[in-house]
């Protein structure tokens, strides 16, 4: 049982109410993550701002979803894997085989996206100390040095939500139920932690 509330606009602290109204306008509902982050309006504001900044990166919408899914799977965040699987498949129209490969901790069918996912996983797993093959393969796949730092931005904002979801035990929204996720018990390719 969580010690935290999932706030509505009415129950949220005053500093979060307008932010939740923005979430309602953008998504048509208030995601439970946003309702949970509303407990600390500055945390919700940071999440919204970091999301907007990441959306302005040079990474394509599919590449951004690869990053956030890879971070969330590596951090074992069931909420964010389900949410971003839904976003990737239904809003971004990413290839479902790419999304499913990330969810199952398998190699991606596209070499550039696979290099992106592996670099992202390594950034999370090794707390940003990524050198050697993972970095070399990322650059060799056609990604820029600027994109290395953009991935770190994605890791930053997704870590905020992943850790929040772990702490507050965020219930999965009905909009994301079809993509609910549990971490695979074993990884055939030995890429998981």
Its pTM surpasses 0.85: yes
Burial group, residue 100, by CB count within 10 angstroms (0-12, 13-18, 19+): middle
- DSSP state, 172? P
Report the pLDDT averaged over residues 93-118: 95
Residue 64 lies in a domain: yes
Q: Which residues contact 172 (CB under 8 A, 6 or more apart)?
A: 32, 78, 79, 82, 83, 180
CATH number of the domain to which 69 belongs: 1.20.1290.10
Q: Tell whether 161 is covered by a domain.
A: yes
pLDDT at 189: 44
pLDDT over threshold 70, residue 62: yes
In whole angstroms, what is the distance from residue 10 CA to residue 100 CA?
Answer: 37
Structure tokens that stand for 80 in this block = 């964010």
Give residue 81's domain range: 59-179
Flag whether 158 is in a domain.
yes
Q: What pLDDT shows up at residue 193? A: 41
What's the structural domain count of the chain? 1
Could you tell me if residue 65 is inside a domain?
A: yes
Instruction: Please state, in angstroms and rounded to a whole number, the distance separating the CA atoms of residues 125 and 27.
Output: 31
- 44 inside domain: no
Residue 116 domain-assigned? yes
**What does the pLDDT look like over 128-171, one tens digit per residue?**
888 778 788 889 999 899 999 999 999 999 999 999 999 999 99
The set of residues, in sequence order, having a beta carbon less than 8 Å from that of 79 and lying 6+ positions away, is 32, 33, 161, 165, 170, 172, 176
Domain-located, residue 93: yes
Which residues lie below 8 Å from residue 168, measured CB to CB, with a gap of 6+?
2, 3, 4, 6, 36, 39
Residue 184 domain flag? no
Predicted confidence band at 3 (pLDDT cuts at 50, 70, 90)? confident
């Amino acid at each position: 049982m969580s010690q935290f509330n999932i706030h509505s606009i009415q129950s949220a602290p005053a500093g979060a109410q307008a932010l939740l109204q923005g979430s309602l306008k953008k998504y048509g509902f208030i995601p439970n993550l946003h309702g949970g982050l509303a407990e600390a309006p500055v945390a919700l504001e940071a999440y919204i701002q970091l999301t907007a900044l990441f959306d302005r990166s040079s990474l394509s919408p599919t590449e951004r979803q690869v990053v956030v899914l890879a971070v969330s799977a590596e951090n074992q965040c069931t909420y964010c894997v389900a949410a971003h699987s839904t976003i990737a498949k239904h809003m971004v129209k990413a290839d479902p085989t790419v999304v499913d490969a990330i969810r199952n901790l398998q190699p991606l069918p596209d070499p550039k996206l696979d290099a992106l996912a592996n670099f992202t996983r390594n950034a999370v797993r090794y707390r940003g100390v990524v050198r050697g093959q993972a970095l070399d393969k990322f650059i060799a796949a056609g990604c820029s040095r600027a994109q290395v730092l953009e991935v770190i931005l994605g890791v930053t904002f997704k870590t905020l939500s992943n850790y929040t979801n772990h702490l507050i035990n965020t219930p999965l929204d009905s909009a994301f139920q079809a993509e609910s996720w549990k971490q695979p018990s074993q990884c055939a390719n030995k890429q998981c932690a």
